[in-house]
Amino acid sequence: MSLQERDKKHIWHPLTQHKTSTSSLGIVSANTALLWDEGGNKYIDGIASWYTAMYGHCHPYITSKVAAQMLKLDQVVFSGFTHEPAVELSEKLIEILPNNQQKLFFSDNGSTSVEIAIKMAMQYHFNKGEKRTALLAFEDGFHGDTFGAMSVSGLSVYNGPFEDLLLNVHRIPVPNGNNNPEVLKLAAELISEHNIAGFIYEPLVQGAAAMKMNNAEGLNDLLQLCNENNIITIADEVMTGFGKTGKNFASEYMETQPDIICLSKALTAGLLPMAITTCTQDIYDAFYSDELAKGLFHGHTYTANPLACRAAIAGIELLQTDEMQANIKRIETSHLSFASTIKDHPKVKNVRQLGVIFAFDLNIEMERYGNTRNQLFDFFMKRGVFLRPLGNTIYILPPYVISEEELNTIYKTIEASLELF
Ligand SMILES: *Cc1c(COP(=O)(O)O)cnc(C)c1O
């Protein structure tokens, strides 16, 4: 029996309605920007497996570092103990993070990094004798699937059963360059009416909202407004971190730096699950006290797993090489020229690009949306290209090591898909 068949017996997949979905494709190996299925078919991973494997799958530098670590120290409690991989990672990361970031708190995935950020923001005020429990967030944001993270994400039909249990969140549209003053005014109103503890946002690109972009100047104004009102700013860089926007972190495009940053996904180069919530000295100091209860009593069993830390260190080292930086520039240039090729196509609208992130919307009638996504997905997969269209948006976010030839195959396949409509 194939993996595809055996899978069906016991496995419940994420984000899947099993009654109406097709069965899951068995993947047996991966290398560079390529995936192979159990039938021997090859696919170009056009989204770096949800933006994780940015330096390529099974990169020998990363796997060798992790393998060596595995033989020396596999796992140890991180409460009361520390270890070389965590310490080295903290030094490496602080070096490349916006320079107001001083402290690192480890967890396991993007959602937990957000939970921790929310707790930090609320307890920061609590520890200072102020009760602030509301949060400010962008419409259509995505911050994860645990309760806090789900609460600050945009509202969706999937929240139905939990609606009454979500945190108190006020939402503003993203500033897009045309509406900046209105968004700022709305934020100011909400801030004056509610006890807002923190503002969480995806800087410049909202991944799950189909690579919707926001305006750096408008966002900077919002960050300043928050600073003036002592509202903790939380940049969720789980998607945008580690070079994807053309800079190490999207926050670097703004003058005002966030108080807290959430990292995961490419943090461990696609090898192991891990997340880090980083913060300023000021946040840390609000928890530093003779009173035990003022500490941050949050912890996950696998906190700062040494293997995951090794993968992260190796990933950052690769990111900093001239070769990887040149790859990022090369992909940016290729995207730009592809953008100019298709931007006037009658079936194409809203072409957008930042760093290695490229997206556009299909300019087609609404009633066709339902099937469009699956139709496109199948069309791409049949031609050996793995992309996950979101609604009527097609986006590319390839591993930095993708070859020009592979990138061109993606472009040509996308161009051919436009003829479907
Ligand atoms: C993926 C993602 C998350 C959630 O991360 P998980 O590891 O899937 O829990 C949070 N925020 C952003 C911006 C993401 O892209």
- What does the pLDDT read at residue 157? 77
Q: Are 251 and 261 contacting, i.e. CB atoms less than 8 angstroms apart?
A: yes
Tell me how far the alpha carbon of residue 145 lies from the centroid of ligand 1, in angstroms. Answer: 8
In this predicted model, what pLDDT tens digit does every residue of 235-261 receive, in sequence order?
999 999 999 999 999 999 999 999 999
Q: Is 142 in the pocket of ligand 1 (CB under 6 A)?
A: yes
In this predicted model, what pLDDT tens digit does every residue of 256-311 receive, in sequence order?
999 999 999 999 999 999 999 999 999 999 999 999 999 999 999 999 999 999 99
Q: Are 137 and 103 contacting, i.e. CB atoms less than 8 angstroms apart?
A: no
In this predicted model, what pLDDT tens digit does every residue of 165-198 receive, in sequence order?
999 999 999 999 999 999 999 999 999 999 999 9
Q: Is 264 in the pocket of ligand 1 (CB under 6 A)?
A: yes
Count CB-CB contacts under 10 A for residue 119: 18
CA–CA gap between residue 272 and residue 339 (Å, rounded): 34
Tell me how far the alpha carbon of residue 110 lies from the centroid of ligand 1, in angstroms. Answer: 4
- What does the pLDDT read at residue 190? 98
Task: Report DSSP letters for 252-311, one per residue.
Answer: GGSSSPPSEEEE-GGGGTTSS--EEEEE-HHHHHTT-SSSGGGS-----TTTT-HHHHHH
Tell me how far the alpha carbon of residue 148 lies from the centroid of ligand 1, in angstroms. Answer: 12
- What does the pLDDT read at residue 413? 98
| pLDDT band of 371, cuts 50, 70, 90 | confident
Phi, psi (rounded to 5 degrees) for 383: -100, 15
Could you write out the three-class secondary structure of 158-211?
A: HHHHHHHHCCCEEEECCCCCCCHHHHHHHHHHHHHHCCEEEEEECCCEECCCCC
CA–CA gap between residue 50 and residue 402 (Å, rounded): 15
What is the percentage of the chain residues whose pLDDT exceeds 90?
A: 94
In this predicted model, what pLDDT tens digit does every residue of 132-162 receive, in sequence order?
999 999 999 999 999 999 999 998 878 889 9
Maximum pairwise Cα distance, the chain: 67
b/e per residue, 204-235, with b = 16+ CB within 10 A?
A: bbbbbbbbbbbbbebbbbbbebbbeeebbbbb
For the chain, the average pLDDT equals: 96
**Which of these, 44, 397, 14, lies nearest to 389 by C-alpha position?**
397
- What does the pLDDT read at residue 36? 98
From the centroid of its chain, how far is CA 54?
Answer: 12
Residue 340, pLDDT above cutoff 70: yes
Q: Are 207 and 172 contacting, i.e. CB atoms less than 8 angstroms apart?
A: no
**Which of these, 195, 146, 149, lies nearest to 170 by C-alpha position?**
195
| pLDDT band of 368, cuts 50, 70, 90 | low
User: Which numbered atom of ligand 1 lies nearest the CA of 207?
Assistant: 15
Q: Is the pTM of this model over 0.95?
A: yes
Strands lying side by side in the sheet with 393-396? 348-354, 357-362, 393-396
CA–CA gap between residue 211 and residue 357 (Å, rounded): 8
What is the percentage of the chain residues whose pLDDT exceeds 70?
A: 99
CA–CA gap between residue 159 and residue 149 (Å, rounded): 12
| pLDDT band of 370, cuts 50, 70, 90 | low
Two tokens at 297? 């009593």
- What does the pLDDT read at residue 37? 98
CA–CA gap between residue 327 and residue 149 (Å, rounded): 33
Q: What is the DSSP letter of 316?
A: H
Grouping H, G, I as helix, E, B as strand and the rest as coil, residue 355 is coil
From the centroid of its chain, how far is CA 148?
Answer: 16
Tell me how far the alpha carbon of residue 321 lies from the centroid of ligand 1, in angstroms. Answer: 26
- What does the pLDDT read at residue 201? 98
Residue of minimum CA distance from atom 11 in ligand 1: 143
CA–CA gap between residue 418 and residue 384 (Å, rounded): 17
- What does the pLDDT read at residue 367? 59
Residue 70, pLDDT above cutoff 60: yes
Complete domains list, the chain, with CATH: 3-58+322-420 (3.90.1150.10), 73-319 (3.40.640.10)
Sign, CA dihedral 352-358-361-362, equals positive
Q: Is 202 in the pocket of ligand 1 (CB under 6 A)?
A: yes
Tell me how far the alpha carbon of residue 241 lies from the centroid of ligand 1, in angstroms. Answer: 11
Tell me how far the alpha carbon of residue 348 lies from the centroid of ligand 1, in angstroms. Answer: 28
Residue of minimum CA distance from atom 15 in ligand 1: 239
- Residue from 238, 251, 262, 300 whose mutation best tests the ligand 1 pocket (most atoms within 8 A of CB): 238
